[in-house]
Amino acid sequence: MITKTLTSTRCGSSKLTRNGKTKADKQKFHCQACGCYGTLAPDYGYSEGRKAEILRACHERSSLRRLERTFGVARQTVAAWLKKSP
């Protein structure tokens, strides 16, 4: 299990307190810096290496449906990655 530094998805602060879980067992937080409440970005369980591999294939072939079949990764997940790293 990798311990990650929790940061607010809204303001980027790491001054968070855990605030229970969602129904999908995602960690929720309360940010002490700005007072916001939120849910941490879900961890889909892909390593950075695998993510990079999938994204590279995505740029080469550019068919999300094909990637979905090849890698068994939901195309919504890949689409979300693409938005974050153009």
**Which CB, 16 or 58, lies closer to Zn ion?**
16
- Interface characters, 16-55, with Zn ion (x: CB under 5 A): ---------------x-xx-x-------------------
Which amino acid is residue 4, in one-letter code?
K
DSSP H or E stretch at residue 39 = strand 37-39
DSSP H or E stretch at residue 59 = helix 48-61
What's the Cα-to-Cα distance from 41 to each of 8, 15, 63, 67, 77, rounded to whole Å? Answer: 9, 16, 25, 22, 12
**Which CB, 13 or 39, lies closer to Zn ion?**
13
Tell whether residue 11 is a contact of Zn ion (CB under 5 A): yes
Q: Which residues bind Zn ion (CB under 5 A)?
A: 8, 10-11, 13, 31, 33-34, 36
